[in-house]
Amino acid sequence: MSNTIGHSLLHQTLLHPTVLEQQTKINSCNISGNSFFLPKSTANQAKSQIRKSPLSTKFRSNNVKTTKLPMGTQGPVSVVPRAVLASEPTSEQLAGRFNLDGNSDLQVRVSFPDAGSISQVDLQVTNSSNSLVLHWGAICDRHEKWILPSRYPDGTRVYKDRALRTPFVKTGSNSFLNIEIDDPAILAIEFLILDEAQNKWFKNNGDNFHVKLPVKHRLNLNVSVPEDLVQVQAYLRWERKGKQMYTPEQEKVEYEAARAELLEEITRGTSIEDLRAKLLNKNDKNQIQKPPISETISKIPDDLVQTQAYIRWEAAGKPNYSPDEQLREFEEARKELQIELEKGASLDEIRHKITKGEMKTKATPKKKNIVERIQRKKRDLMQLINKYVAGSETGQEKISVKPKSLTVVELYSETKKEEDVGSILSKKIVNLSGMELLVLVTKPDGKTRIILATDFREPLILHWALSKTGGDWLEPPSTILPDGSVSLDKAAETKFGQISFGDPPCQVQSLEIEIEGEDFVGMPFVLLSNGNWIKNKGSDFYVDFSTKPKQFRKDAGEGKGTAKDLLEKIAGLESEAQKSFMHRFNIAADLIEEAKDFGELGLAGILVWMRFMATRQLIWNKNYNVKPREISKAQDRLTDLLQNIYKSHPQYRELLRMILSTVGRGGEGDVGQRIRDEILVIQRNNDCKGGMMEEWHQKLHNNTSPDDVVICQALIDYIKSDFDISVYWKTLNENGITKERLLSYDRAIHSEPSFRRDQKDGLLRDLGNYMRTLKAVHSGADLESAISNCMGYKAEGQGFMVGVNINPVSGLPSGFPELLQYVLTHVEDKNVEGLLEGLLEAREDLQPLLSQSNDRLKDLLFLDIALDSTVRTVIERGYEELNDAGPEKIMYFIILVLENLALSWDNNEDLIYCLKGWNHALNMLKSKDDFWALYAKSVLDRTRLALATKAESYQRVLQPSAEYLGSLLGVDQWALNIFTEEIIRAGSAASLSSLLNRLDPVLRKTANLGSWQIISPVEAVGYVAVVDELLTVQNKSYERPTILIAKSVKGEEEIPDGTVAVLTPDMPDVLSHVSVRARNSKVCFATCFDPNILVDLQAKEGKRLHLKTTSADIVYREVKDGEVEVAGPIVVKEESSMPRLTLVRKQFAGRYAISSDEFTSELVGAKSRNISYLKGKVPSWVGIPTSVALPFGVFEKVLSEDCNQAVAEKLDTLKKKLKAGDSSTLGEIRKTVLELLPPSQLVEELRNKMISSGMPWPGDENEQRWEQAWTAIKKVWASKWNERAYFSTRKVKLDHDYLCMAVLVQEIINADYAFVIHTTNPSSGDSSEIYAEVVKGLGETLVGAYPGRALSFICKKTDLTSPKVLGYPSKPIGLFIRRSIIFRSDSNGEDLEGYAGAGLYDSVPMDEEEKVVLDYSSDPLIIDGSFQQSILSSIAKAGHAIEELYGSPQDIEGVVRDGKIYVVQTRPQM
């Protein structure tokens, strides 16, 4: 960066001066407020002026400053302040900070505005209770007893005439109290704090808290203080207050407060010499160091010295100078200027060279003396959790927006669209003082038809013309004039006619105009009513014919899953919005409240619209000139409204952040207008007023856009490349700007840039400054601009950033400016790890502020968005750093990116637990734990699931709106197809996915996992077919042996007929329903972890492959035509060869309920009988839950009751439809079953059996509890007709009518863990080892379609105390429930030989389970080795004991509660 104007350079630093100069504004002299030195001749005048703190004198990244001297001093004082005044009557002073109890702190501040006023003591207790009382008194002498001041806060009571007791005021988590002291005799106050609710006293290390009050003497106004001492004292005050950013008004107050402090010292008898010694820490009180420069050099104006010092500082790499180095730099700058004088240059010539950026310096880059790595604070990750979920899942009442009833004009519009009016070019409804005007343009048979309609009551005349160039008025040809029209000079007039339409009938005034050919591009018009002209906000109305017809794509559906009314309104307003960004942003602002009322889908619609705009799918500017400041103002209005919703509706914050990132910030300080003004400065400064620069200037004046940021960067890159024009085009094209786009602007850019070499430095300087202005308006995610807006900046010079004064955001954390400076300093670093830490530390510091009320919240949001965006770009730059990195570094990068996502996403609980899991995995790696890779693989799988879930959420919320609105607006289909994908790719989720893919093979290799997990090891030959979801083809029958490559397998699907293998990247549990089905059907089933293998298999779609499996791998090869391959049993079977299983119809045995000792094969299924058999036979440490049952035939008996006759008749009708092949009736059948009423005898018998068996009877609580139980029983019966079970029975020719359902009733054990055991390893067939899977909570997540894997282990039957963990859990959700009852399906078709019917039917708990996001990093089963060994061994021992009891392999389900094993069911392992 070169130097523009010497007087305006020092305005942007984030660092601090050593000795602060005095700033003055003196009307009688032309002295810059930003100069380093104050000429001696003005020193006396300065004494009488208001002194400004030099804190506004700044420049980017450092300060190079020295003192300005009062009259009579021989030169700059080259000393550094070392001491703080002992007596400090400041405007506000932190008197002390004390820890009271754990995380509760006491802060005491003492303040008073000026001499003679009331002293104030402010006390704040953080994280406090609401029952704190201040027990206090005043001190006139340190050794005297307390006195009671006459002035005290409201609510104070006198305690035993010896003390006062004043209650604190509780606000949020903190308590506050303000005490005012007006008695000058009081020197201090003393106090204790009492928590009255707990009768707990807080003391200061066993003593009273003692707060000394400032001494307030009458100041001697006849005494003056040297200005250099006032400067030093002001600087010391600034340091003590944390080096804050001050407004000009604050600077004045601070400077005068410093003077008052020194006067106070003088009135106490301190001499000027003593003050100087105390402040400057010098033994010789009278010695002032003389400047080591000659009188000749001192004649050089100070503003030139300061500018040359700035040039030296930039050339040296903007280092952080020590105080001595700063003064030395000034002397060196002065010497360089003296050399120029001695060469014969005049001061004016030197000034001209500096202004043009031609002044050279011998300064060389200094090795940066900066922090190379920040120290990250230790934080509790749990504090980052937010559970805001848009929609009904929040538990909040979902906002229901009733569709607004259509107005008469809207009804007419719908009526016309239903007619054959041709393709619709545009539709717009304009508000006319409470009335509406419809303008509908269609394209029937090569003609252009304009339909106008209004509910205006008075007679109306259309005064109109046609246009060939846009906006001009041409008289319409007489051949197209509607009947009754009158031709005028360059116009025509046509009366509206009354039209009646609809049922009931409605009336509008309407007319239609039809134009042949393509000669005209538009129609300008105004309206006339009773002699009054009606215009469009003072301008003519204009109908544009050039808009392309909207192609309404059938695949967009009918707007289901969208805020349809809002999207259609947006589409209707698009012709107005495309005029300019001002129009678009104002329309969006008008719609934002309505979008908020629609909830998540409404804001999704706004996001989709704004993203179409940002990705240039919509027109940015059309036939409309707009001033940049008007665009900026519209942006400000829209972003202010978005900020307000962000505050009031936290469940939508993620969507709102995304909208903000597409809009841009807008600007304060008339930043928009500066776009227009500063391009002229560039042209004037650098003599480049023609060619491309003039064309760009015209575009900027006409309608600035985000393209201008790219154009500016392209110019800078072009100049830096030594005027290589290919670099200019490369930058443009990489950012989506082609030559055609440049030509498409209303003010087209035809020319390429062409500059002289002598313009290079000036252009780079000025374009660099201009870029900041452009980004302030257009680039919400630009880091430097966002930081500047939050930290504040100011300029008082000429040219760029004129008149800008952005104050810093208040309440920023301590050290935050330095942290942001660290980020800016390192933002281009090649090694990015330290930078990522800095970016995330800054985001962490910001988080509390984003949830608080702040009038500058918008600036904080844009800063957070910019930091987030920078993380993504930085991590992508850091991939090269990871090429040769080990797993430890890759895992640390994953942790950083995951933290960034957690700070950006709503409902981030799962991400936080993933983050904790990665931290645990990294610690395991560092401690050389043998299982670190296996554990890390489970965390990696869970993290992938979290990313997939988020992608599905975006797809559900955004994609329907994108497709529907895109269809209305004519957006290219390719842009709609990838809309959601591009949203995801734009964030750091894509970076995280890339890092996971990089680490996955490392973990698999380290943990010896290979590329496959073999669930069903069967050799197979078949033809490859690729499907998205196994669920969508589960009922299909393939005609030839088929190898399915299924992207999604949830766990509850059926294997389609004809399938010989299912290969998937998904991770169903080894013991899930589909896994058991595959093994029973002898179908190869495996998970593929290697994406490259999966891609290769998908590429072989339609080809014939031979799969050969081992217990840990699959080898495959292509089978050529004519080659004979035999592999395992063929699954495709002829109809006649399919086994036909028979069922025996069960009859009602006369009892509605039976106890477990009554269970027989005639009354209940194998599930109930097995659990009854186990009682008393398993070891005593294995618990068996108490059970009763509703036996076979009860459902049929209930259905036959008179009270259920209507239900029975309805079911008969539906079952006939089902037999006829209408499977859509299955759902209706299930709903009908739920209409059954319970016979009173059933209720009584079930109650007696449950109570006599020691089980709680739900009806004893209340009638509602029994209704819940009855509904659960009916759901079990209804599951006979679920789709999966029905089609499964059809495959094996089971007579569905003969299938009977008993209901096993058990008390639910509120499990810590649930497990499933196969006593023969199902993957290997090894009968010598037990295989088991364990989940946290209830077992439904294990046997149901819940994503993720369970903890899996094997255990040799010869060594049941040594379980071996095969995989750690990755399931994000656990199910937990209160004490309750579960009703389990127990049909006569579940355990037939050759048919595994188990798991087809539903088990229903009486109460709904609670879904809990799981934190495995604190789960003892994962982190406590001895606990893990104990639990897993107990599970294995229970399985082995039950297998020995039955004498055959068993499939066992059970739970763990407080370390005890319970078995809830067992059946033969299939």
Which positions are catalytic?
A: 1073
Q: With CA atoms as reference, report the closest residue to 254 among 266, 268, 239.
A: 239
**Longest alpha-carbon distance in the chain:** 123
Q: With CA atoms as reference, report the closest residue to 1396 among 973, 1163, 1071.
A: 1071
DSSP for residue 232: H
Task: Tell me phi and psi for residue 396, to 5 degrees.
Answer: -85, 160
Sign of CA dihedral 977, 983, 986, 990: negative
Those residues whose C-beta lies under 8 Å from the C-beta of residue 1433, and which sit 6 or more positions away, are 1355, 1360, 1361, 1362, 1363
DSSP for residue 981: H
Alpha-carbon dihedral 887, 890, 891, 892, rounded to 10 degrees: 130
Map residue 1005 onto helix, strand or coil: helix
d(CA 455, CA 432): 10
The phi-psi region of residue 1201 (left if phi > 0; otherwise alpha if psi is between -120 and 50; otherwise beta) is beta
d(CA 676, CA 774): 10
Residue 1087 near residue 1065 (C-beta atoms within 8 A): yes
- CA separation, residue 66 to residues 16, 21, 335, 1296 (Å): 12, 6, 16, 96
d(CA 966, CA 961): 8
Residue owning tokens 């007319």: 511
Q: How long is the chain? A: 1470
Residue 1023 near residue 1116 (C-beta atoms within 8 A): no
Q: What is the 3-state secondary structure (H, E, C) of 1137-1171?
A: HCCCCCCCCCCCCCCCCEEHHHCCCCCCCHHHHHH
Q: With CA atoms as reference, report the closest residue to 711 among 675, 687, 660.
A: 675
- CA separation, residue 960 to residues 561, 569, 850 (Å): 6, 16, 30
- The helix/strand count (H/E) of the chain reads as 42, 45
Residue 639 near residue 856 (C-beta atoms within 8 A): no
d(CA 27, CA 36): 19
- CA separation, residue 37 to residues 251, 288, 300 (Å): 19, 17, 11
Residue 19 near residue 80 (C-beta atoms within 8 A): yes
CA atoms within 13 A on the CB side of 881: 17
Tokens of 1121: 């035509």
Tokens of 650: 């936290």
Q: What is the bridge-based pairing of β-strands 1057-1064 and 1084-1088? A: parallel
| Straight-line distance from the first to the last Cα atom of the chain, in angstroms, rounded to the nearest whole number | 77
Those residues whose C-beta lies under 8 Å from the C-beta of residue 1436, and which sit 6 or more positions away, are 1317, 1330, 1332, 1353, 1355, 1360, 1363
What are the E-state strand segments in 516-625? 522-529, 532-534, 541-544
Cis preceding linkage at 292, omega within 30: no
